[in-house]
Structure 1
Amino acid sequence: MIIPDEIYQFEDSRFRALIQPNAQLKRLATGFEWTEGPVWFAAHQLLLFSDIPSERIMRLTSDGQLSVFRCASDFTNGNTSDRIGRLLSCQHGTRSVTRTEPDGSRTVIADQFQGKRLNSPNDVVVQSNGAIWFTDPTYGILSDYEGYQADPEQETHNVFRVDPDTGNLEAMISDFVQPNGLAFSPDERILYVAESGSSHDPDVPSIIRAFNLDDGGRIAGDRVFATIDCGLPDGMRVDFQGNLWSSAADGIHCFHPDGTRLGKILVPEVVANLCFGGPKGNRLYITATTSLYSIAVSTKSAI
């Protein structure tokens, strides 16, 4: 289904070079409960995405065929691919980050910190050196809708890093109300993290923070990078030019690396996440509440 209404909101002339003015926003599939975690696998020309409350990971091939990739997904939320093409997933049900091996088995990457269970890992990214970073808010344990209701064991809601050599887990950032989506700049010197605490507390600002990383990959200061003016930031991606594309209640907000909002792609459902993909890598796949959408753009992923 093609969405025919006006879909672009221009706020800076630089936005025109990033979009295809004649491209249509297409609804590829609908009827889900809460879509999340899209990830494109170029080697297989397919997209995976989560339907969290239904405990499914869905598969969409490049020819438009939709099927179930995994049932009983343990309320999987965010997904990504590691540097050799394996699926990494944040599972609310098991409160863990897992890796799917070539034989289909799952390896637990992290499920506890300092002897206590994680809250509910939400979103995950992988650095070029193999380090795995993920956010750990409490959404998956607030109720039985996206996981299993439970009291948190962690005192803070952290952004974690898994060391690529030792597998050790370290809390890198601990001052978020609810850390959510995260993404690296193309040179990996900046880590962007979404603050989505306004979902349950209107006094929490709906912001994206930018953390500078030093030569050793350690946090070396941060700043507010951008504010979302409609809803809150959730999942996000960075293109190869360094522009950040963030989810929001009214669609996707695109920010220049200097923090200027260039424009919006308006979507008729609340957007949870997005990723670049497609045969040429120049298509945005958008998970938005009950549906999966796509639109062609004039840029590609940073990775």
Structure 2
Amino acid sequence: MELTDSFEVIDARFRKLAFGNVHLERLYTGCRWAEGPAWFAAGRYLVWSDIPNDRMLRWDETDGSVSVFRQPALNTNGHTVDAQGRLVSCEHRGRCVSRTEHDGTRRVLADRYEGARFNSPNDVVVKSDGSIWFSDPSYGIDSDYEGDAASSELGACCVYRIAPDLRSVTRVASDFVQPNGLAFSPDERWLYVVDTGATHREDGPRHIRRFRVQDDGARIDGGEVFAECGNGLFDGLRVDVHGNVWTSAGDGVHCHAPDGTLTGKIRVPEAVANVCFGGPKLNRLFICATTSLYAVYLNTRGAGRPV
């Protein structure tokens, strides 16, 4: 069956990942900059950020309704859900990584490295050992639009790891202009990290790098370029059970095979910021794209299982 115009096939492998009768759906519009989707399997709802409006929104799968999850929200950006079902968030204005506990209280997990405040944590992922990995570019301190304008105390934009016991924060990668979205491969042997440095340098990077996770699970090496963005910038990304990388871009969502080949695209009428897999089978890709939340069913599942 021929695919709908929601999909663009570049490599034949992409056809196996899409359905012929499926279209992209817009679930909500009205944001200024939609970001950071996170799926809560137990409640069948999605939470995402509307950063400039300083709020988090909630889409309910049971009836399609959208409500305000939290406002003010400290210009929160990226989110993830840990193995205990708690929301882990990157706060621009809080300049920290926080966690929402089961009783609703907010706990700051890390806000400094060697005594200096973070710039503006951007995106976050929790590894199976409980460690928390996050990027720290400068976007939240560059202006008052998505945070509070300020000078960097660290003087660098890096990737960090919070230990499972929360007692230490280590810098795992420092050779970035603006580190952004990040995700592990299904077996956690690889860490993918986006660099959106082109926002700050005319010749800056607009690519995904791939790092090998060392045997101790706490350090990375390598960092070769995995894929270059041909339209706009990559931003947030997720990996499916087959190791395909689904990443945001200026013209939609790009799908890269594990070997880095661009195999296809999901066409979205707005620039995409971030994505996540959700639904009971993790086979629905939710897409945060500038003013709107979109979704599309795929013939694959997100890596990991619903919590």
Q: TM-score w.r.t. structure 2 length?
A: 0.96
Once the two structures are superposed, residues 86-110 of structure 1 have per-residue CA deviations (whole angstroms, 9 ceiling, x without a partner) of 0000010110100000111111011
What residue number does 1:99 align with?
A: 99
What residue number does 2:14 align with?
A: 15
What residue number does 1:125 align with?
A: 125
The 2-side partners of 1:124 and 1:222 are apart by 18
AA at the equivalent of 1:153? E
The question of 1:254 aligning with 2:255 is answered yes
What residue number does 1:38 align with?
A: 37
Once the two structures are superposed, residues 7-43 of structure 1 have per-residue CA deviations (whole angstroms, 9 ceiling, x without a partner) of 2111111101111122111111001111000011111
The 1-side partners of 2:14 and 2:233 are apart by 21
Once the two structures are superposed, residues 20-77 of structure 1 have per-residue CA deviations (whole angstroms, 9 ceiling, x without a partner) of 1221111110011110000111111100000001111101111201101111100000
Q: Kindly report the root-mean-square deviation, in angstroms, between the aligned alpha carbons of the 2 structures.
A: 1.0
Please give the secondary structure, in 2, of the residue aligned with 1:264. Answer: strand
What residue number does 2:302 align with?
A: 301
After the TM superposition, which residues 54-203 of structure 1 pair with which residues of structure 2 at under 5 Å, given as runs? Answer: 54-62=53-61, 63-203=63-203
What residue number does 2:222 align with?
A: 221
- Do the aligned partners of 2:90 and 2:96 also contact (CA within 8 Å) in 1? yes
The 1-side partners of 2:202 and 2:254 are apart by 20
Please give the secondary structure, in 2, of the residue aligned with 1:16. Answer: helix
Instruction: Identify unmatched segments of 5+ residues in structure 1.
Output: none
CA apart distance, 1:166: 4.7
Please give the secondary structure, in 2, of the residue aligned with 1:17. Answer: helix
The 1-side partners of 2:227 and 2:44 are apart by 33
Identical positions, percent: 56
The 2-side partners of 1:296 and 1:201 are apart by 36
What residue number does 2:292 align with?
A: 291
C-alpha distance 286-166 of structure 1, shift in aligned 2 (>3 A): closer
The question of 1:232 aligning with 2:209 is answered no
Count of equivalent residues: 299
- Do the aligned partners of 2:32 and 2:290 also contact (CA within 8 Å) in 1? yes
AA at the equivalent of 1:17? K
- Do the aligned partners of 2:194 and 2:207 also contact (CA within 8 Å) in 1? yes
What residue number does 2:46 align with?
A: 47
What residue number does 1:269 align with?
A: 270
AA at the equivalent of 2:242? Q
Q: TM-score w.r.t. structure 1 length?
A: 0.97
The 2-side partners of 1:187 and 1:89 are apart by 23
**Runs ≥4 residues deviating over 4 A:** none
Once the two structures are superposed, residues 272-292 of structure 1 have per-residue CA deviations (whole angstroms, 9 ceiling, x without a partner) of 000011233211100000000
